[in-house]
A and B are shown apart, each in its own frame.
Chain A
């Protein structure tokens, strides 16, 4: 299975070598994945440092790939630009988001009053 967030992990772990899988983009989003373009300097340092030092959680032996992926997850869990810049998928591919759907599906007495 390809891991499209690996570019993020690799950006975080610039010292890592041997990219484990080819980079690719998600089919569902024509926009580039900004998370993959986050400079390492903007990533949470402690997660990065811990990952670089191989201090992932748990006693399981971890490959470089796993360390990178785990660090990327922690960087995402830390929040900030990585999360904010992810592509949105709130509707089906090829289907526009319908701003009026809630009103269409809500009984009149439950609808919000006009603002």
Chain B
């Protein structure tokens, strides 16, 4: 990646599936980019692009709680943008003061394995309720305003996003509909640059790290992106994941292509670190120590280098060591059945 492009890049959030440039007078009708960011009509090399994702997933299997820690890096701090992160249960959003990723990378490098081995109330506050959309929480998290949403109607959600400054291009409609059918929740994060930065124009900005916590019976990564039009891009893209949990896991996702649908392992597994609790605490610091589950912990590293995620669904991490599922466990996992086979109807009514 050349430096000119690097300065133009906006590496933003989450598997984030839907990123939206803020609608407004500064912005022309959006052009979707390969990575799910929707940007104004700029030359390809000038469009905001999701190039780099760093995620720490801490999952407590006993309580079924996931902490999804993500670094948001962007260079064009003067430009507004937003993105939406779907979660299988109602999330809470937290700022992480110090990014843990530099220390994690040093303490737990990826090192690929041989193949075969496997501040609440700021700003205007919550907008008026829209039909089909519930605003469950609004808070300031770093430079972002975070809206926690629930929606029972895809059109209403799209309207809410548009009304609140998130561009919602046509290709996002199917994406929204998918998650509405699943009964998921949403964290809509709207970047609100300080007035001084906005007035100064594009400036470099440090990364910000956010934590989204939600209930999940298995570790979950919102990997699905809206299918964006093809754009010429040879720029690399990298997702780095550090997973912390009690037992080794295998990331799986459905991929749908011309030949049909198949399950795949969408990430390359790197080095794994058994008995890693003390090293994790040493690397991640005290701010994350309260997130770690009890008992012995192992850490796994993963990387993904796909430039486009067309056809890939969300990622669920399943146990490396299989075992029978009790009826209770099957019920708990029902949320993920339609994630891994979208053609299956969601079991039961979505109650909220």
Contacts and interface: CB of A to CB of B under 8 A. Distances in A.
A78 B337 contact: no
Contact of A84 (B250, B312, B326, B333): B250
Interface of B: 1, 51-52, 101-102, 105-106, 109-112, 115, 118, 218, 236, 238, 240, 249-250, 252, 255-268, 303-308, 312, 316, 318-327, 330-331, 333-334, 336-337, 340-341, 343-348
- The majority secondary structure among interface residues of chain A is loop
A32 B218 CA distance: 27
Interface in A15-69: 21, 24-29, 33, 35, 44-47, 50, 55-60, 66, 69
A14 interface: no
Taking residues whose C-beta sits less than 8 angstroms from the other chain, chain A's interface range is: 35 or more
20 contacts: A1-B343, A21-B260, A24-B259, A25-B259, A26-B262, A28-B257, A47-B330, A57-B337, A57-B348, A59-B348, A78-B322, A78-B324, A79-B321, A80-B319, A80-B323, A87-B264, A88-B265, A90-B306, A102-B110, A105-B51
B326 A46 contact: yes
A47 B111 CA distance: 36
Contact of B318 (A79, A88, A101, A110): A79
A44 B322 contact: yes
A59 B305 CA distance: 40
B239 to A, nearest CB: 9
B345 A60 contact: yes
Contacts of A95: 305
A56 B306 CA distance: 35
Interface in A83-114: 83-84, 86-92, 95, 97-99, 101-102, 104-106, 109-113
B348 to A, nearest CB: 4
A25 B261 CA distance: 9
A2 to B, nearest CB: 3
B334 A57 contact: yes
Contacts of A112: 105-106, 109
Contacts of A27: 257-259
Contacts of A25: 259, 262
Contacts of A105: 1, 51-52, 236, 238
